[in-house]
Amino acid sequence: MFTNIYLYIYRIILHFIIKSSRAEAFSLMLRKYYLMKYDIKIGYGTYGGCFTVGNIERGTAFGNYCSIAPGVKIFRANHPLNKFTTHPLFYNPVMGYVKKYMLEKPKLTVGNDVWIGANVIITPSVMVIGNGSIIGAGSVVTRDVPAYAVVAGNPAKIIKKRFPEEVIEKLESTQWWSWDQETLTKNKMILEKIILGEK
């Protein structure tokens, strides 16, 4: 009963924040709320599954202009393999035996302009997902993802790089993801020329 009331109030709060601030991708209020309430940093322009409470672990940081599909799950700890049992009784306070969570939960940093497809699983061994990378739908990511890499599969493997190295260097040097929506739209042609190899 209490859980249903909490979820209802939560949905009303989110609806109000989104409605009052244009859209989830650019709402400063929504970002402040997620940082304060859930310790999840969501960059400017980032939208989608990053706002799914329960699927995204506390301490996760998303860069700017990321596209996160539904069903993405980010795990920050595994059951311990080096103990006599893998059962959570001895490491998770939910079970009532220990007072605090006993396993290390490393934080995940997701770069800028990252696209994570639907139902991706990111395991605790992953610390960094690089700028401009793409993770195919349904992938299980067990290693860090390099910048501008396209990865897919179980376990996820590098399929290709999005651009040649010289194009990646030029894109990175612009740091376009630090621009606001208006600046980005005004300078769209400059970035497109970089991709096409024009000066």
For the stretch 115-124, pLDDT in tens is: 999 999 999 9
Q: Is the separation of the CB atoms in 64 and 178 below 8 Å?
A: yes
Average pLDDT of span 172-180: 96
Which active-site residues does the annotation give? 79
Residue type, 111: G
Q: What is the structure's pLDDT at 3?
A: 62
Residue 57 pLDDT > 70: yes
Q: How far apart are CA 40 and CA 52, in angstroms?
A: 11
Among 123, 165, 170, which residue's Cα sits nearest to residue 144? 123
Scan for tokens 């860069």, then name that residue: 63
Q: Is the separation of the CB atoms in 125 and 145 below 8 Å?
A: no
Helix, strand, or coil (residue 160): strand
Quick one: tokens of 155? 């376990």
How far, rounded to the nearest angstrom, does the alpha carbon of residue 38 sit from its chain's CA centroid? Answer: 13
Q: How far apart are CA 26 and CA 181, in angstroms?
A: 9
How far, rounded to the nearest angstrom, does the alpha carbon of residue 114 sit from its chain's CA centroid? Answer: 8
Hey, where are the domains in the chain? 2-161, 163-199
Residue 77 pLDDT > 50: yes
Q: Is the separation of the CB atoms in 16 and 33 below 8 Å?
A: no
Quick one: tokens of 95? 């079970």
pTM score:
0.86
Note the residue count of the chain. Answer: 199
CATH class of the domain defined by 2-161: mainly beta
Q: What is the structure's pLDDT at 21?
A: 45
